[in-house]
């Protein structure tokens, strides 16, 4: 198997904001420490949940830098460096390498909707220009760009493309991906409601939103499975399913930031155009958090 960077539950970490919308770096360092104390297996900085789309260049790099510094090599740090501009994605990936990130998470190009040949060229260009591992992030519901099976097979041949975050929700496609690529392209679930499902077909963990509020439990879902305790893994997955669904009652990361604020983490608001939950959705989220004794 390639160096997939980690196995288990990696948190797709929120980027905490001050009330004026600036990044709260003090809180960011506190969150990293709390995650490590609660057994998170890796930290993903500046992903979708980290609001990478509305971070300025300097902020993006500073968040990666601060997370790496606070982590102090205790667990891997993976930096979100995707872009629909290949040149910029290469530059940002090089910067992540310079900042000592352990790998990069690269979302498929969005809006310009690359062809499958274009996707191969895009990912190979990034992987050829850095020495740290690349995780392909397939999330067509956000990008409008789906990675086809033959494309995954081609990308799996590159020594520096080491895994995929599979967030298509298409378990049939993900099963075929596992069957065709096997250890050449290990799979992380990109959806918290499919952790055990994807691990049952060879997946090695999750890149998780849920881990922002329940890092230990999300770690345990994965670790149970890796330890051969599949029933325990599935039991915990199902026990948390209503909470997982509540964290996607609106566009991520709106609900998880609301949840964290209700739990006392004070991570601040999302940046526009993302806005707070409406009262109806907020009440549903509150009731689920209370049910799980989280507020």
Q: Which residues belong to the active site?
A: 137, 165
Question: Can you tell me the distance from the alpha carbon of 242 to that of 223, in angstroms, rounded to the nearest whole number?
Answer: 21
Token pair, residue 276, equals 């707070």
> Which secondary-structure segment (H or E) carries 56?
none
Distance CA 258, CA 267 (A): 9
Contacts of 36 (CB under 8 A, 6+ apart): 71, 74, 75
SS (H, E, C) 104-171: EEEECCCCCCCCHHHHHHHHHHHHHCCCCCEEEEECHHHHCCCCCHHHHHHHCCCCCEEEEEECCCCH
Spatial distance between the Cα atoms of 255 and 238, rounded to a whole number of angstroms: 20
- Strand ranges (E), the chain: 8-12, 42-45, 77-80, 103-107, 134-138, 161-166, 187-189, 205-208
12 DSSP β-pair partners: 44
**Both ends of the chain: CA-CA distance in Å?**
42
């Amino acid at each position: 198997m390639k160096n997939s960077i980690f196995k288990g539950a990696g948190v797709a970490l929120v980027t905490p904001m001050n009330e004026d919308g600036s990044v709260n770096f003090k809180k960011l360092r506190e969150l990293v420490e709390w995650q490590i104390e609660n057994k998170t297996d890796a930290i993903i900085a500046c992903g979708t949940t980290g609001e990478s789309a509305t971070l300025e260049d300097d902020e993006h790099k500073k968040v990666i830098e601060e997370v790496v510094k606070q982590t102090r090599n205790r667990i891997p740090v993976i930096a979100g460096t995707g872009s629909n501009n290949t040149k910029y994605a290469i530059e940002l990936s090089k910067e992540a390498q310079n900042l000592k990130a352990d790998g990069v998470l690269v979302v498929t190009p969005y809006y310009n909707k690359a062809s499958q040949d274009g996707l191969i060229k895009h990912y190979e260009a990034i992987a050829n220009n850095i020495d740290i591992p690349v995780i392909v992030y397939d999330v067509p519901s956000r990008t409008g760009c789906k990675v086809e099976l033959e494309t995954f097979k081609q990308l799996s041949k590159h020594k520096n493309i080491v895994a995929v975050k599979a967030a298509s929700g298409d378990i049939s496609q993900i099963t075929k991906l596992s069957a065709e690529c096997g250890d050449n392209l290990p799979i992380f679930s990109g959806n918290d409601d499919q952790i055990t499902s994807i691990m049952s077909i060879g997946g090695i963990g999750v890149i998780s939103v849920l881990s922002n509020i329940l890092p230990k439990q999300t770690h345990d879902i994965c670790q149970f499975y890796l330890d051969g305790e599949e029933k325990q893994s599935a039991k915990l997955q199902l026990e948390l399913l209503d909470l997982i669904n509540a964290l996607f009652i609106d566009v991520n990361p709106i609900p998880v930031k609301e949840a964290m604020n209700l739990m006392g983490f004070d991570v601040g608001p999302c940046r526009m155009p993302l806005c707070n939950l409406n009262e109806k959705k907020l009440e549903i989220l509150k009731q689920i958090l209370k049910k799980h004794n989280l507020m």
